[in-house]
Amino acid sequence: MSKSLPSRIARLWKDFSTASVPTSLVTRPHVSHLGLFSLARRHSSSKLPRIADQQAVPATSPKSSYYGRRFTPHEDSVLLERRKQGLAFKEIGAELKKDEMTVCARYRVLVLLFGMNGTVPRRKRRYRGRYSASDDATILRMKAEGFKFSEIAKKLSISGSYDARQMLGRWRGVVLRERLSPASSPVAKPRRTRLTDEEFARIQKMRGEGVKWNVIADSWEEQLSVPTLRNLYHARRYVTAQTSADGRSEAHRRWSAEDLATLIALRDQEGRSWTEISQRLNRSRVGVQQRWFRLKKETKTTQ
């Protein structure tokens, strides 16, 4: 049987026939010969020592699986000694012919995991948003003196790959906040939410006389823009409305049969725009359009 198979399969089959197969594999009636062969192969190969385990590793030198070859006990002792002398990882890596990141990772493993003599320097990290008033003052002062953002981050003990970018964002935020603060603004714009009865009556009287909104805004005691003053007036008018002609009241939201008849009659007239129809009905143009299309849909469903 083995002569008809390729040489590699024949060799594996020979190993299978001579290997000690567990009884749990042999007593499986549902496993085919090919499946039994695969299971026996995995069983026999699992007992074989790995190539990495065959290398002699002294007990005094913990195994290292980092880049390149393993660290020897001599290299570990050199690494610890050079760190005690204050050398940087880049210099130690040049001496050991390894890259800086590998040497740094190996040193951390020796000190933190295996408890060897040495100290791992830890930098105080600062996350976004955790800035005090003194930090903001330091950022503004050092930036005005011409320091780089990376130098400012180092001064504030902010580490990370984007420390300079964080300083740039924080500096922009502080400058923008200083520019928009009420104390630095020439005129602080108050935020109005409503009009008093006297102010509403005054605007209503001036609007009845035909005075434009820009003239009303210029004659106002406070510095309010035309849109703000107009919105405050209409909001007050809608609240105090008694009829549909006064403003947008609850009764005005409901379309009466007379309003619908007027809408249909105006739409039948040629040349009538939505703006003209909304002015005749004292409603918004969007509201009139929505009611018209909804009316057409209701008419189609009833037919």
Low-confidence stretches of the chain (pLDDT beneath 70): 1-68, 114-130, 159-162, 178-192, 238-253, 303
Q: Closest Cα partner for 93 from 60, 85, 84, 83?
A: 83
Helices 89-96 and 100-108: angle between axes, nearest 10 degrees: 110
* pLDDT score of 159: 63
What are the distances in angstroms from CA 102 to CA 64, 118, 277?
Answer: 10, 17, 79
- Which residues lie below 8 Å from residue 217, measured CB to CB, with a gap of 6+? 224, 225, 226, 229
* pLDDT score of 190: 52
Which residue has 């409901």 as its token pair?
Answer: 254
* pLDDT score of 231: 86
* pLDDT score of 57: 39
What are the distances in angstroms from CA 133 to CA 15, 116, 168, 232?
Answer: 76, 41, 17, 38
CA 231 to chain centre: 36
Sign of CA dihedral 53, 58, 63, 64: negative
Q: How far apart are CA 48 and CA 57, in angstroms?
A: 18
* pLDDT score of 2: 44
* pLDDT score of 47: 45
pTM, rounded to two decimals:
0.25
* pLDDT score of 60: 46
CA 25 to chain centre: 54
Sign of CA dihedral 18, 24, 25, 26: positive
Q: How far apart are CA 260 and CA 247, in angstroms?
A: 18
* pLDDT score of 46: 47
Residue 203: other Cβ atoms inside 10 A:
21
* pLDDT score of 26: 45
DSSP assignment of 22-45: -HHHHT-TTS-HHHHHHHHHHHHH
Q: What is the DSSP letter of 19?
A: S
Which residue has 């990376």 as its token pair?
Answer: 150
Domains of the chain: which residue ranges? 73-114, 133-184, 197-245, 255-302
Structure tokens, 266: 């105006």
The answer to whether 100 and 113 are in contact (CB under 8 A) is no
